[in-house]
Structures are given as C-alpha cells and as structure tokens.
Amino acid sequence: MPSLDLAVARTSAAAYPSAAPYDPATRYPEYPAAAEVSSESNEVYAAVRETLRLAELDPEHFGTPEWNPLGRWVKPGQTVMLKPNLVKEAHPRDPEGWRYVITHGSIIRAVADYVAIALRGSGKIVVADAPQTDSRFKKMAELLGLHEIAAAFAARGVTFEIVDLRKEEWDNVDEVIVARHQLPGDPEGYIAYDLADRSEFAKHHGGGRYYGADYDDDTLNSHHTGGKHEYLLSRSSITCDVFINLPKLKTHKKAGITVNLKNLVGVNGDKNWLPHHTVGTPRDGGDQFPNQSWKTRLEHRGAQTLRKLALAMPGVGTWLLKRARKAGKKVFGDGDQTIRSGNWHGNDTTWRMVLDLNKLVLYGNPNGTMREPKIEAQKPYLCFVDGILGGQGNGPMDPDPLESRCVLFGDNPAAVDAACAVLMGFEVEKIPIVRQAFAAVGFPLTAGTWQEVNVRCDHMPWQGKLGDLQHQRGMLAARPHHGWRGGVESLVNNSSL
C-alpha cells in the first residue's frame, strides 16, 4: 500500500554531471564490483541514493553489498518501466535550456542502477515516453546519453531498452503542423479503456466542446460523449510489473505544476483522446478564456475555421493557418502575455484528464478491464523527481531555470506532487491536479489528506508534515506561469536556499 511518507535529498549545486553514462564518483558498497566509477563529481547519483536511505528502505543492509532498497517492489524477472519527462528537445530561448525542460540522463542512470540491483540479473528495464508530437525523440536520447547508458548496462548483462511510445511525429513550423510521419510506436501495442462514470469527467458538462492536441476536435469529442470517457494507453505502461515515474520539477500553463501526475500524459497512445481545455469561458461552462469579449469570440471562430481547413486541404489550409497565426499575434496578443487555450488557473479540464490517466496506470488490466478499486490493488508506482534544476514561469516548454537543487522519492504520486507544490511555494488547495488527486472519483489514487504527507529531508526547513510546511518560510518561491500568477502562490512565498 502506498505511503504518505516521502524523502527529499538536496545537492550543493544545481548542476548535472557532464559525461554519459553518468557513473557514480564513489564505489558504494552495493554498487556492482565490475561496474565503472567516474572521476567527475556526481551529486545527482548521491542524491538519488540519499533519498532511498532517508526513506529507510532495507535499513538493515544499508552500507553493505546486500543493500537492496527497491527490493520491496522490484523482483527478479520483472519488467520495470522508467518514464522520464521528455517533452521537447530544445528551449525556445536558451540553447542549454533543455536541462531545465526534460529529465536529465543522470537521474535515469542512478534510478536504473537500483532497479538493476533489485532485478538480480533477471528482468528488463524499459525507458519509454510519448513526447510532444512535434518533438524529436532521437535528439533527446542523444542529449541525455541514453544509448551510452544502455551500453553500460549491456556490458553488465542487464537488458535496457529505449522506446518512443508515439505512433506519429509532426513537423511544426510557426506553431502550425505542416507534415505528419508514422512511427513504429509501442512494440507491445495499445489498449483502449472506457472509465465511464468512474472518470473525472463523469459530472463535467463540457462534452462536445473539448479541445485536445490536434486540429480534429470531432474525434476527441467522440471519445468523451454519451457517458463514455475513453483513453488509449501504451500497453507497455500497463503490462510492466513496476512503473517508475521520473518527472521534472516545473510549472505548467494548464495544470499549475507538472510533476508525477501530469507526466502520465506521456503514456497515452493518442493525444487526440485527451481533453486539454473546454471551449468557452466560465460564464458558459468553458475554460478556454477567462472572460468573453469580441476578440475572444473572433479568435476562436477564426482559429476553428482555419484548423478544419488545414485538415481538409493540407496545402492551402496550412499556408493560410500559418499566415493567420502570425497576423493574429498582433491583433489578439502573444501567448507569453495573453491567456488563451486554457492556459490559466481556471482550467477545469486538464486535471480531470491527467487523474484519469493515473487511474489507468494504477488499475488497468491488459485486457482493457480494471482492477478492483481498492488502494491495495494498485500496481507499484514509484516516483523520483528531478528537481536538481527545475523550471519556473512559462512552463512546461519555455520556463526560466529554478535552482531547486533536490531529488524527491516516494511511492505515492499524489503525496509527492503535494510536497512539490508546497516546496515550490504554492497553495495545494489552489492546484486542482493535486487537490483532487486526494478525492479521485471511482478509483482512489491515495489515502489520507495532503496535510498528512510527511517529508523526510536532510534540510531541516523542509522536514515535517505538509500541513505545517504549507506557510513556512524557506520554500523555493517558484514563479508560476503568467496565467496562474496571483492564483496559486503561498501566503508566505520567499526563498531561503
């Protein structure tokens, strides 16, 4: 049963080792005798290890070659999926900004080492994600040194696979899709689920007005109508024995923060089954814009017409959409300052979709049915958060760096995300994706309350119950996305690093 306890380890600098495969700088007692060590400092590896010690896992063997901290969940012969956040290979303003946009390879390597220890030479590690459709998976694998990591494990006889879960990759020019390329996708295939009245959308009145990641909103709405709420998931995320989430600590334009819960968008098989916002304003049950005006009505109708034209006539329609987007920024405002597309604290759609995806990973069966809706029936789901260098401001794609200098570990994604929100200086109750995770419909994601979550940390100001830490000084004081500014910050939000 997942715990409300979690561990946080801090580093002295917001920096990653530079050379893949990111071997540890110390030959720890549990580290394989034949494996390489590095002459380069590796605080990231040490921080991952420290979270496992702070969590008091296998304490009787700590400091010996027999220490197996993940052995409680990972058994020999199993398949373990590692799910990093590989949303985009480049930052729009900073050539080195990918370091605070995607999960760093040194986090992946350190976690994989402790998985390999638990597998005892039998089983498989799979690193998999479905990045944003216009991203380049191969480039991210290169940046993160994933192939060097795979080679290091192969030399030790450990099966280590790298999988792009997407079925399609797009070419995007000036925010317009100009070409679509088919990909092999998940080698295990995909599974469709219908959560029906156990979906977070069951009592939501946005049916028929949902918008997702593609121009074809008719297809999206066909999956969320008439009492059905369907999702297509990668089979690998369901059939794996243990799921390990490796998110980045960042702010998010549609969800407030993106950590473990939001990171599960990357296990779906078709992003156009995922509602991202509801057309309209709160006045008419929507969350696309905060307020209605002639500008918002004109912008929506014009964009809708041009998107449909781009689908029907890819050549002419795409050209017109590109020209219109460029001109539209001058009339309607740039997204860095103007709130549109549900990119604000009033988004009442994205959190529902995200929590549904978490239910499916925790409770989904390979035949499309669901496990018994009891917490003890959940699949093992562990979390390691890359908070060494996080992202703040216009996340998830265009953030500024947040020197958070930490790694978090827990076996409860809701609890870990609540801790991340508090440590970032945000109010849990004002972030629906976290608040509602403690009150999920149909399939419980966690037990207890977020106030009861207990943080074990080597930095005393960050240690204790979240209910006590919520308004304590010494948090990170992260800057939210501009659409969330003034809506999520804690009463006491200043930094003491």
Task: Tell me how far apart the alpha carbons of residues 195 and 493 are, in angstroms, rounded to a whole number.
Answer: 38
The model's pLDDT over 299-314, given as tens digits with 9 standing for 90+, comes to: 555 455 545 545 554 5
Task: Tell me how far apart the alpha carbons of residues 410 and 2 are, in angstroms, rounded to a whole number.
Answer: 8
Task: Tell me how far apart the alpha carbons of residues 479 and 394 are, in angstroms, rounded to a whole number.
Answer: 9
Share of the chain above pLDDT 70, in %: 88
N- to C-terminal Cα separation, the chain = 34
For helices 105-119 and 137-144, what crossing angle results, to 10°?
80
Residue 340's pLDDT is 80
Residue 473's pLDDT is 79
Let me know: does 67 contact 21? Beta carbons within 8 Å. Answer: no
Q: Average pLDDT, stretch 95-114?
A: 98
Residue 209's pLDDT is 93
Mean pLDDT of the chain: 91
**DSSP letter, residue 401:** E
Q: Average pLDDT, stretch 439-463?
A: 96
The model's pLDDT over 163-200, given as tens digits with 9 standing for 90+, comes to: 999 999 988 766 666 788 899 999 999 999 999 999 99
Task: Tell me how far apart the alpha carbons of residues 388 and 411 are, in angstroms, rounded to a whole number.
Answer: 20
pLDDT > 50? residue 26 = yes
Helix locations, 78-194, DSSP H: 105-119, 137-144, 146-155
Task: Tell me how far apart the alpha carbons of residues 21 and 44 are, in angstroms, rounded to a whole number.
Answer: 13
Of 152, 138, 119, 132, the residue nearest 37 (C-alpha)? 152
The torsion defined by the Cα of 76, 117, 185 and 247, in degrees rounded to 10, comes to 130
Do β-strands 159-164 and 176-182 pair in parallel, antiparallel, or remain unpaired?
Answer: unpaired
Q: Average pLDDT, stretch 71-86?
A: 98
> Residue 328: pLDDT band by 50, 70, 90 thresholds?
very low
Task: Tell me how far apart the alpha carbons of residues 148 and 361 are, in angstroms, rounded to a whole number.
Answer: 29
What's the pTM value of the predicted model, to 2 decimals?
Answer: 0.92
The structure tokens listed for 64 are 């010996």
> Residue 326: pLDDT band by 50, 70, 90 thresholds?
low
The structure tokens listed for 105 are 């390879």
- The residue length of the chain stands at 497
Residue 177's pLDDT is 64
Q: Average pLDDT, stretch 21-48?
A: 96
305 vs 358, residue with greater confidence: 358
Residue 494's pLDDT is 43
Residue with tokens 């309350």: 449
The structure tokens listed for 86 are 């590989």
The torsion defined by the Cα of 265, 268, 271 and 275, in degrees rounded to 10, comes to -60
Task: Tell me how far apart the alpha carbons of residues 366 and 190 are, in angstroms, rounded to a whole number.
Answer: 9
Amino acid found at 434: V
Let me know: does 14 contact 476? Beta carbons within 8 Å. Answer: no
